[in-house]
Structure formats: C-alpha cells, structure tokens
Amino acid sequence: MFTQTERLIAVRNLRPKRKQGFLKIISLFSFLGIMLGVAILIIVMSVMNGFRSDLTEKIIGLNPHLILQLNNEKDLKNTKKILSTKYKNINTTESISGEGIILTNNKAKGILIKGINEKDKFQSFTNKEIIKGNLKDFTTGTVMIGGELAYNLNLEIGDKINIVSSSFIDTPFGSIPMQDNFRIAGLFNSGFYEFDQNLIYLELNDSRSIFDKQDGSVDLEVFLKNPFLAEKYKKDIESINQNIFVSTWSDTNKSFFNALKVERNVMFIILTLIIIVAAFNIISGLTILIKNKTKEIAIIKTLGLSENSIIKSFFLTGFVIGFLATITGVFFGVIFSIYIDEIRNFLSMIFGINIFPSDVYYLEKMPSEINFTSVSIIFFLSLLITSLASYFPAKTISKMKTTDALKYE
C-alpha cells in the first residue's frame, strides 16, 4: 500500500529538525489528546456497562421477575393452577407490599414493607446475605430488616419495633393508621444500599393484618429460570386472563434503565468530541508541516515522485500519530478499567475522600465491564477520525504548483 520511499518521507516528517520544534510539540499534543480521549472513552463506557450490568443483576436477584396482582382467593387458586400446569420451570410465591413507618428509640423512618410466606422465605432470601440472626427464627411476630436500616436506627437482634402502616382503621375517635409491634429476628445485606436502608420483611399473615388485606388479595410473584424472557411470559399470562395485571422486573424499573441508556449515549457523544478536538491538532500540525516543506515537496516532484505518493506519505504521517495514540489509549483504557476499583480505593486513601459513595450510586464498589464490541467501535472510530484529519491537509498538496514553489530558488 505504501512504498519504501513514502514510508521514508513519513518517518522523516515524524522526526522534525530542531528548528522545527514547534511541530514536535503539536505532534505530541495530538498524540496525547487522542490517547487520552480513547482511554477515557473506554473507561467511561466500561463503568457505564458495569453499572448497568450490576444493577440489572441485583434488581433481578432482589425482585420477582413477574408480579401478578390478584384481588380474591378464587383468582389466586385458578392462576396458580394454570401456571403450574402450563409452565414447569417457574416458581411462585405470595406476597403483600406496602409503605409504612418504623418507630423506635424516639426515631421514625419511612420504609417499604414486604410480607412473604414463611414456607417461601428461603427462596425470597436467596440473593441476600444474613449478617446477623437466623432465617429460621423469622416467623409470625418477627421482622427481617436491612443492615443499613439497623445501623441508622441503632437496632440489634431481639429489639422491639413499632410499625405503622399506610392503611387506616375506623374507630369511635376517627380513622387511625394500623400498627403493631414486632421483634427483630435478623439483619440482611443485599449489596444494594437502597434496599438495605428502606426494606423490611414481615410474615405474610402479619402483613395481611397490618394492611387490612383479605385472603386472596395478594401479589403472586413469579421467578423464572431466564429473567430476560419475562416479557414473553407476561404476554402469555395476559392472553390467558386479561383481568390480571402483570408487570415485569423491567417494567418496574423502566424509567431507571431508560435514564441509564440516555446517559450512556450522551457520554459517548461528548467524549468522542475529545478525540475530534485532538484530531484538529493533526490537521494543524500537517498543514504547518506541508507549508514548511513546500520547497522540499516541489523538489521531489521535479525528481519524479508522483503527486499521489507525496500525498500518501503526508497522510501516513498523520495516520501513524493517530494509530499509535489509539493503540496506546486502548491499552491504558483497558488496564485502567480492569483495576478501576483498586485505583479508586488507592485515591480515596491518598486524598481521604469517598470517590464512589454507595448511598449515591447504590453499589458497594465501582463496577466495570469491558465490552470488546464497544472497544472495537471506539478503536475504529478513532482511526476513522484521525484518517480524515490526516487526509484533508495532505490533499492540499495537489493544489501546489511546482513552478511557484521554486520560483525564487
């Protein structure tokens, strides 16, 4: 593709003479700009991919894959029978969810209350680590609460708490919220800060009592072998009984995932501009280089080197800068992405600040997932930008007139 003469001219252009030190500085800034742009783009995309994957995994692990809202005992029995007959690889459990307030030690906090069947409690806690207490002790009159919630309210195993629900009961003195006392049976850690800070579990009958729910008025939670087929199961179930309201794990978190997708795309566009700005340095550098070498270009043209070969040699000059910068950027970006959490811990220790607070970002450590498709796209996009940035200045050589260049020599 490139002859030895063209490669030789490109190498000489990449090593300008001492009096052309300004060109060396421009080339250096071009190299650093593209390298940093590529590296930062890979790092940000890896963190965004990791953030999405970790949150998806935790949301799938902590939430049912399908929720069927039922209003009476008849619908509950019929639906369970249909599901068990038609689908063999699914598990179901009954639950009741609502909002409430926890009162203890002169403190109050709004919480999410979830009632689960005692016989299904081991399935509900599959993706949660019991950090204190024992799940076997979780029975009627007891609660399981998140470790973060226990820490914030200074609670321990065996402590008594008062829970006020969002349901009201009529009395001679007016409507008052329903409430009851419970004993803490254990603390769990889901690895998801929002859940651990706001969620408590009650036994199903306790939650039915505190929310004043009738038998059969429950949510039927469905757990699938492949959570990503939830939408397909949703359509099948709705076609069986249109009176059942079905929501999937992605429906309940739709706005959240849409926001992540938009943020990821915007970040990609913004960071690509870094590479484009750096590529302008190549354009300016090659333009100045061609201007300074007008005489040399005219001379080698008169010696018989074709105009096309000269254009290719100057194109190769800019392309080599862009190619080497892209390769270096990919290397540093991938290495940084692999060890990003170790680097975060090191920087947090050095500067004494929490760079990735779990109460803001929901996760306990900085996630990173290197997607080689994304890395390949970034690599080829960078090469395309630097190729275009190298081609247009080199193309200006075709407008140069040899006679004018040598007129005063």
Can you spell out the DSSP letters for 282-348? HHHHHHHHHHHTHHHHHHHHHTT--HHHHHHHHHHHHHHHHHHHHHHHHHHHHHHHHTHHHHHHHHH
Q: Is residue 48 part of a domain?
A: yes
- Sequence-distant (6+) residues with CB within 8 A of 320 are 10, 14
Polymer length in residues for the chain: 409
β-pairing verdict for 142-146 and 174-189? parallel
Q: Which of 111, 130, 112 is nearest to 122 (CA)?
A: 130
Q: Is the domain of 261 the same as that of 238?
A: no
Q: Is the domain of 110 the same as that of 187?
A: yes
Q: Is residue 62 part of a domain?
A: no
How many folded domains does the chain comprise?
2
Q: Is the domain of 154 the same as that of 33?
A: no
Q: Is residue 47 part of a domain?
A: yes
Q: For the chain, state the CA radius of gyration.
A: 33
Q: What is the pLDDT along the chain (409 residues), one digit of tens a residue?
A: 667 776 676 777 666 665 555 567 777 777 888 888 888 888 888 888 887 777 777 777 677 788 887 766 777 777 777 777 777 777 777 788 888 888 887 888 888 888 887 777 766 666 667 888 888 888 888 888 888 888 888 888 988 988 888 777 766 766 777 888 899 988 988 777 778 888 888 888 888 888 877 665 677 878 887 777 888 888 887 777 777 778 887 777 777 777 777 777 887 888 788 778 777 777 777 777 777 666 777 776 776 777 777 777 777 788 888 888 889 999 999 998 888 888 877 777 777 776 666 555 556 677 788 888 888 888 898 888 888 888 877 777 766 666 555 554 5
Q: Is the domain of 109 the same as that of 236?
A: yes
Q: Is the domain of 108 the same as that of 77?
A: yes
- Residue ending a domain, among 181, 213, 243, is 243
Q: Is the domain of 195 the same as that of 224?
A: yes
- Sequence-distant (6+) residues with CB within 8 A of 70 are 76, 79, 216, 217, 218, 219, 220, 244
- Residue ending a domain, among 221, 243, 265, is 243
Q: Is the domain of 262 the same as that of 236?
A: no
pTM of the model: 0.67
Q: Is the domain of 102 the same as that of 199?
A: yes
Q: Is the domain of 333 the same as that of 266?
A: yes
> How many other CB atoms are found less than 10 A from the CB of residue 315?
22
Q: How far apart are CA 61 and CA 58, in angstroms?
A: 5
| Residue 118 structural domain | 71-243
Q: For residue 170, which amino acid is it?
A: D
Q: Is residue 251 part of a domain?
A: no
